[in-house]
């Protein structure tokens, strides 16, 4: 925006600190106005002239020198990182603007249609910056101004982790997961700094699963082949009192082919559907009485070629007949509590006929290896026929809720 300057405030500016240079710096005069909290610089004429020597005929408006207004003003302390940084000009145009951090890093900005400059990056907490601007007046005068200011120090800085990570290829059920290193109280501000851009464009919504974790899911499963970029622009967000985001984090990933697996716990079968085609059906065993596999829509969270499963981590005593400590192969994780699809060569005789596991879905080694090789993190696995419900938040559970309810939180 352009700042309007009024002669009535001239007296208030006589004592203002100005940083000025130009063709005749020694003839600098106080400006005739400024925006609040701004440093202003004004040079009266090119070398060899004065305001009365403009050469303009009587009755004609004399060409004027430029007047620059910088905000924050020189010497400002405790500037919030989310405060705008601007340079306005009256009576000319900006020729150069530089915002430089104490470590020499230069931040980027842009000119608007009115010729004013605005910072487009984020300030960092606890940092000193120098804002320097050059302008050219209508009379050709070059005017320079600068402002050095410091930002507020953060009590803590919060980092963010984005899942999926860069260059991942994921299944059509994969949510976007943002994990914060510290609890977030200002959730609306954090959410406003999160964006999901995709080609093709996909409708979706955010929902908080805890004070440190928020997920974004599409209205329906991702279209196969979608390209996605996630941006967490937290570097100018106060996430809690005195707690600021550390930096802007991005992730770019792709959605692969559509693959939906369906496990019928009553019929002891798994069907793998690729697009509209069933590509494989295999016998399985799921959780026995007292250890029922959870019903619902699950998403592959990780692929692990080998994983140790120790019942003691779930509170089972080593002397309990149901205690186990096994190293299993070709495992696809589905829940935080430890449900997997994996090779179970010890139960081949029961696969397709009975449920004998402690909650995981077991299959032959050959079938497990095939599934491992042909699955992606983010693939959907639908479980039916079990009396036990999947708990909300035990894994990527967003598909067990209608989109309208999900988006309303």
What are the tens digits of pLDDT across the range 128-181?
999 999 999 988 999 999 999 999 999 999 999 999 999 999 999 999 999 999
* Mean pLDDT of the 328-345 span: 97
- Which residue intervals of 38-194 are DSSP H helices? 187-192
* Domain annotation covers residue 172: yes
* pLDDT at site 62: 63
Residue 5 has pLDDT above 80, yes or no: no
143 and 178 co-located in one domain: no
Residue 14 has pLDDT above 80, yes or no: no
* Domain annotation covers residue 406: no
Domain closes at, from 213, 231, 255: 255
296 and 250 co-located in one domain: no
171 and 274 co-located in one domain: no
* Domain annotation covers residue 232: yes
Q: How confident is the model at residue 235 (pLDDT cuts 50, 70, 90)?
A: confident
* Domain annotation covers residue 360: yes
Q: Which of 42, 215, 342, 358 is catalytic?
A: 342
Nearest to 24 by CA among 139, 146, 143: 143
Domain closes at, from 204, 221, 255: 255
Q: Is 358 a catalytic residue?
A: no
350 and 226 co-located in one domain: no
The CATH number given to whatever domain includes residue 22 is 2.60.40.3780
Q: Cα torsion for 69, 75, 81, 87, to the nearest 10°?
A: 10
E-strand ranges in 300-397 read 302-310, 325-333, 340-343, 361-363, 380-384
Q: Which residue has the tokens 């029922």?
A: 292
356 and 241 co-located in one domain: no
The CATH number given to whatever domain includes residue 335 is 2.40.440.10
Q: Is 342 a catalytic residue?
A: yes
Q: Can you tell me the distance from the alpha carbon of 145 to that of 77, in angstroms, rounded to the nearest whole number?
A: 19
249 and 303 co-located in one domain: no
Identify the domain containing residue 301 by its residue range: 259-400
The CATH number given to whatever domain includes residue 198 is 2.60.40.3710
145 and 175 co-located in one domain: no
Q: Which of 215, 268, 358, 360 is catalytic?
A: 360
Domain closes at, from 150, 171, 204: 150
* pLDDT at site 58: 52
332 and 232 co-located in one domain: no
Number of domains in the chain: 3
Residue 71 has pLDDT above 80, yes or no: yes
34 and 137 co-located in one domain: yes
């Amino acid at each position: 925006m352009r700042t309007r300057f009024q002669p009535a405030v001239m007296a208030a500016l006589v004592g203002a600190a100005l940083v000025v240079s130009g063709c005749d710096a020694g003839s600098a005069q106080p400006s005739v106005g400024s925006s609040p909290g701004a440093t202003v610089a004004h040079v009266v004429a090119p070398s060899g002239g004065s305001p009365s020597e403009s050469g303009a005929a009587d009755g004609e408006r004399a060409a004027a020198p430029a007047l620059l207004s910088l905000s924050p003003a020189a010497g400002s302390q405790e500037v919030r990182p989310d405060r705008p940084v601007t340079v306005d000009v009256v009576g000319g145009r900006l020729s150069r603007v530089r915002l430089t951090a104490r470590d020499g890093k230069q931040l980027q900005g842009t000119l608007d249609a009115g010729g004013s400059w605005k910072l487009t990056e984020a300030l960092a907490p606890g940092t000193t910056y120098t804002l320097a601007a050059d302008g050219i007046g209508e009379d050709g005068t070059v005017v320079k101004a600068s402002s050095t200011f410091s930002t507020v120090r953060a009590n803590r800085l919060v980092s963010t982790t984005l899942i999926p990570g860069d260059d991942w290829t994921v299944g059509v059920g994969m949510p976007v997961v943002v994990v914060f290193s510290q609890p977030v109280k200002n959730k609306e501000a954090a959410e406003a700094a999160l964006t999901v851009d995709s080609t093709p464009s996909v409708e979706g919504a955010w929902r908080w699963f805890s004070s440190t974790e928020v997920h974004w899911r599409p209205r329906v499963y991702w279209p196969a082949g979608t390209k996605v970029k996630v941006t967490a622009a937290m570097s100018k967000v106060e996430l809690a009192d005195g707690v600021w985001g550390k930096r802007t984090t991005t992730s770019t990933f792709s959605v692969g082919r559509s693959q939906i697996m369906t496990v019928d716990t009553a019929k002891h079968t798994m069907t793998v559907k690729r697009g509209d085609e069933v590509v494989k059906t295999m016998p399985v065993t799921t959780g026995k009485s007292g250890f029922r596999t959870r019903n619902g829509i699950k998403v592959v969270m990780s692929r692990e070629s080998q994983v140790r499963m120790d019942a003691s981590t779930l509170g089972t005593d080593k002397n309990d007949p149901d205690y186990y400590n096994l190293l299993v192969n070709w495992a696809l994780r589905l829940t935080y509590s430890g449900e997997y699809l994996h090779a179970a060569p010890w139960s081949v005789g029961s696969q397709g006929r009975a449920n004998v596991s402690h909650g995981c879905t077991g299959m032959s080694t050959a079938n497990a290896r095939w599934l491992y090789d042909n699955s992606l993190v983010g693939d959907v696995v639908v479980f039916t026929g079990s009396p036990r419900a999947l708990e909300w938040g035990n894994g990527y559970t967003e598909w067990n809720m209608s989109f309208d309810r999900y988006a309303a939180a």
